[in-house]
Structure formats: structure tokens, C-alpha cells
Structure 1
Amino acid sequence: MLLYLAFITATLTVLVQCHDCKDYDLSASDQSLVDMMKHYLHTSRKEECPPGGKSSTSGVTYVRWGKKGCPNGVDMIYTGQVGGNYYSNKGGCVNYLCLPNDPENGDALSSDNGQLYGTEYETAGSHKPSGMKDMRQKEVPCAVCHQRKRSVLLMIPARKTCYKGWTSEYSGYLLTDHKTYSSKEYLCVDKNAEPLDNKTGNEDGALLYGISAKCGSLRCPPYKDATDVRCVVCTK
């Protein structure tokens, strides 16, 4: 490939030098070579510059739990509310979902297998992490975010800052359902979490409680017993 480019460059140099020669005409083979070089340069520039100057779609996506929007400088794909399985259901899904506020609803289904509910905060009293507001029985918002400038995403539990070389997207607290209810995943909920709206009501559904560390099989130190658990979402 390098030899090919060197040959083309040398040939073009000769052609340019002869441009001022009297009565000089390009031969068919010379013209063909010039056309080939033009095509090569054109296609190379197209690969380097996306059509219309649009940015690449590379990057990482993540859910910002507990907030309606994304951090400054990060694109929001959509905003919505957190959903999940009913807190007392013994089977079915264990994960929480970020449900968009503009759903495309399905058709009627005569089934008693209801598993998609809204999610409520139960962050009050002993179940409230020290740095969060009391939002008991308020619904939980979320936002799906696209960070174009990064390529790797990592949620680190039990940390409020990222390790060296990583950038923090947001930090918060690990929340999940109560230990006496059905199992759920851990969510890293923003430390400045907000309610979905001003409505308050004990509608249940999926629930989110603060959790604490328990020493024993969890070594203390470095951990500390009966403390809320921080988390941070990092990109690189």
C-alpha cells in the first residue's frame, strides 16, 4: 500500500512539474491515474469526517436512578420512572427498569401475571441514608443518559469517588427492596435524588430502601458495621 502511494505521489509530482510545459497533454493513462488519486483522497476524507459533520454514535449509556435528567454535558436519550415487580411477589423478575414517559402500549392481556409496577421510595426513618431526603411513598424518576466522550462504564459499590483515571458521572447510595420482601437488584440512586411528582400515596409496587453494611463475612475493617452504603458511576 505504501509503495502504491509512493508511486502515485511520484507520478503526480511529474505531472505537476510538466503542467507548465508547452503543448503538454495528459495521456489516457495519466488521466486515469489522476482520477484514481482523486477518488482515493475523496473516500479517505469521507471515512475521517462523518456525513454532514455529525458526531459519532460511540460512547456509553447508563441509567441515572432517582433523577429526571442527565449530568451537564451528557445527552439524555429519554426520561421516565422506575418500574419493577411487586414487592411481595415471590417469583418473576428481580431487576428494576427505567420506563419511558411516552410508552407505546400493548394490547389487552387477560392474565394475573402482573409484574410491572411503579417504584416507590421507602427512604424514611432508619431506612433513609444519611445524605438523602425523606421521600417515603413518592415515586422514583430515572433518566437514560448517553456519554459520548467515554467508552467504558463502571458502577463501584461502597465508594463515593472514582479511582484514578476514571471520571465520575454521579454518586449516590445503594438502594434495593427490604430484606423480608422479594429479592431485587441493587441500584445506585443519585445522592440528590428527587421524586417523580408531588403525589404521595401508599400504592406500593416495587420499593426502594436504604441498606446497611453487616460485619462478619464482610470484613470490618475496612468496612464499618451498620453504615449506609455509597456508590459511584464512573466512565473512562
Structure 2
Amino acid sequence: MFLSYLAVCITTSMVLVQCRDCKDYDLSASDQSLLMKHYLRNSRNEESLSKGKTIASGVTYARWGRKECPTGVETVYTGQAGGNQYSHKGGGVNYLCLPNNPDNGEHFPDETNQIFGAEYELASSKFPSGMKNIKTLHNKEVPCTICYQRKRSTVLMIPGRKTCYKGWTFEYKGYIMSDHKDYSSKEYVCVDKDAEPVDNKSSNEDGALFYGIRTKCGSLRCPPYKDATDVRCVVCTK
């Protein structure tokens, strides 16, 4: 720190000496203070990088099944989960968190319609046994929230866990969900254990679907896994 301060003093003095005859470029006391703060900030960043430290700039992640972010985490926007229709054989395979305040485009014929709302398909034995509010979710639309964690530099969803590993910070936990194995392929996402519906509408319109999924022993080693069990998940940041 002393060396950084000394370097600032030398730099400031050089500028003042070089410009002592240039009235337009004389640095006032406030200018010198700003120059020093700028130099010290850059020096700290360079020092952190040289020591291999990560300068946290913040990360974003989707919280599936909820309308708000965890306490202390900034909400970028809330929306509804969507994606390609379950019976389509081509097109997108990822779920999207569609904002509630879209800037809609122009109307065209529907030959290429691929963005549908997403519904929970959680009737009978298709739901994770540890999920709350399960009786109120079947055939309801799925909400989502995009969250911004300012104090972290990376985000990780860990399947098969309900707690984060040492050194990582817990964001939320839930269950892995995706579309049915006999339908179009979808990604695996972590749906909050306290999932809620978008609203009370339940007209079974299908679209992109969210099913609870379970393990299958064989190529999946059991132990440590168990056969036909719900797959937990946790979202962590660092």
C-alpha cells in the first residue's frame, strides 16, 4: 500500500511539474484527489489479478417456479417459463424465462411457432415427493425470476444435492425437472422446492411441460445413488 501511495505522489508530481507553465492543465486539489483514487483502485485490481484473486462482478441465474429472488438478491425481472411445445420434433430444447413486460414483434403466420407457455405436469406419481404445494400445481403455468447476485462471480447448479459444497454460497434448492422422456427433449432445470403457479388458471393447455424425474440404476452407479428416487438440486454461487 505504501508503494502504491508513493507511486501516486510521484505520478501527480510529474503531471504538476510538466504542466506548471500550462494554466489550462493545472490540477486542483480535487483533481489530484480524483487521480489518486483512480490510481489506487486500479492498483488494487491489478494486485488482485496478480495474486490470482477473482474480482466479483456479479452473476445472474434463473429461479424456476418462483416469482421472487432469495432474500438479499436483486430481481432483474419476473416472468413465465416457456419453451417449445412438448410434441414438436425440432426447434429449441431449452426453457426460457419470458418477462412479464415483453416488447412484442410483428404478427406472422404460425408455421414456425415454437414459444409456448410451460405447465407443471405433476399429477399422480409424476411429482417429487418432497415438494410443497403439490396439489395446487398440476396443469398450472410455471413462473420464473431472473436474479442478480452482486457479490459473486460464478453460479453452479448441482444435481443430486440439497446443500452446497464448502466455499460456495446457497441460493435456493429444489428438484430437477424436464419434459417427459417420451416427448421432445428439454434441458434439466432446478425447480424450487416451494414452487408456485403463475396464477389460478388451470385449463390444461400443455405447451412446454415440467415433469418430476427419477433415477435409474445400471449405468448410474447405485450406490451411491438409489433407484427410482427424486433428483434433488441446489443452486450455489461463489
Residue 6 of structure 1 and its aligned partner are, at CA, apart by 6.1
Which of 200, 203, 211 is matched with 1:201 structurally? 203
Distance 1:33 1:76 in 2: 44
SS of the residue 1:70 aligns to: coil
Q: Is the contact between residue 8 and residue 36 of structure 2 (CA under 8 Å) also seen in structure 1?
A: no
Residue 123 of structure 1 and its aligned partner are, at CA, apart by 1.4
Match of 2:51 in 1: none
Alignment of 1:1-236 (within 5 A): 5=8, 35=27, 39-46=31-38, 58-132=57-131, 133-134=134-135, 135-236=137-238
Residues 131, 7 of structure 1: alpha-carbon distance in 2 compared, 3 angstrom cutoff: closer
Residue 36 of structure 1 and its aligned partner are, at CA, apart by 7.9
Residue 58 of structure 1 and its aligned partner are, at CA, apart by 2.4
Give me the TM-score of the superposition, normalised by structure 2.
0.81
Q: Is the contact between residue 8 and residue 37 of structure 1 (CA under 8 Å) also seen in structure 2?
A: no
Distance 1:169 1:131 in 2: 18
Residue 10 of structure 1 and its aligned partner are, at CA, apart by 9.6
Match of 1:24 in 2: none
Residue 222 of structure 1 and its aligned partner are, at CA, apart by 0.3
Residue 126 of structure 1 and its aligned partner are, at CA, apart by 1.0
Residue 111 of structure 1 and its aligned partner are, at CA, apart by 3.7
- Return the letter of the residue paired with 1:125: S
Distance 1:4 1:220 in 2: 61
Match of 2:47 in 1: none
- Return the letter of the residue paired with 1:119: A
The structure that has the greater radius of gyration is: 1
Q: Is the contact between residue 176 and residue 232 of structure 2 (CA under 8 Å) also seen in structure 1?
A: yes
The runs of 5 or more residues in structure 2 that have no matched partner are 15-19, 42-54
Identity of paired residues, percent? 60
Kindly tell me the number of residue pairs found equivalent between the two proteins: 214
Residues 124, 44 of structure 1: alpha-carbon distance in 2 compared, 3 angstrom cutoff: farther
Residues 33, 131 of structure 1: alpha-carbon distance in 2 compared, 3 angstrom cutoff: same
The runs of 5 or more residues in structure 1 that have no matched partner are 12-27, 50-55
Q: Is the contact between residue 178 and residue 189 of structure 2 (CA under 8 Å) also seen in structure 1?
A: yes
CA deviations on 1:30-67 (whole Å, 9 max, x unpaired) are x9998388644322325778xxxxxx992000000000
Residue 172 of structure 1 and its aligned partner are, at CA, apart by 0.3
- Return the letter of the residue paired with 2:57: S
Q: Is the contact between residue 8 and residue 33 of structure 1 (CA under 8 Å) also seen in structure 2?
A: no
